[in-house]
Amino acid sequence: MSDPVLETDFIKEMVRQMRALDTYGTQSGWAPEKILEPYVMTKERKASIPIIGDPDEVIISQVKAFYNAIAVLIEKECGLMAVPIVHLTHEGFGRVLIIVGKLVALDKTLRDVHRFGFESLSKMKTEGDKLLSVAIERVGLYPEVAGL
């Protein structure tokens, strides 16, 4: 039996984002669980990664895919273009902004990006949904700014 979390809009969009990063088609035919496996950061896996480290391009693209998925779902919900902006230092610290019109719909500080991940796909969906609801609420509060 398939995990019901795989049928949610957020997880489906995450799979689309990750497939978009797969320019050579190496993931074609892979199950969604396998495609999203890099996001699952179990305690054991996290313990195997040094506390201090620099993120590589693969991890940075995974972070961008996560926030791109949120931006796409904001667009679907409110009909306005949402643009994610990810700014990171080479050490893996930075910030994500999702801009809708002239409104900063989401502002999130990032730390230790080389260890970016979630305990499970369910936790990733919960975090994505939480960020999405904050952004949509903000767009609802300031529709005139979001529409500029």
- For the chain, the domain total comes to 1
| 64-122: pLDDT as tens digits | 999 999 999 999 999 999 999 999 999 999 999 999 999 999 999 999 999 999 999 99
Query: Does 123 score more than 80 pLDDT?
Result: yes
The answer to whether the beta carbons of residues 54 and 101 sit under 8 Å apart is no
pTM (whole model) above 0.85: yes
- Number of Cβ atoms within 10 Å of the Cβ of 71: 24
Query: Residues 6 or more apart from 133 whose CB is under 8 A from it?
Result: none
CATH no. for residue 85?
A: 1.10.3100.20
| 36-54: pLDDT as tens digits | 999 999 999 988 988 888 9
Residues of the domain holding 142: 4-146
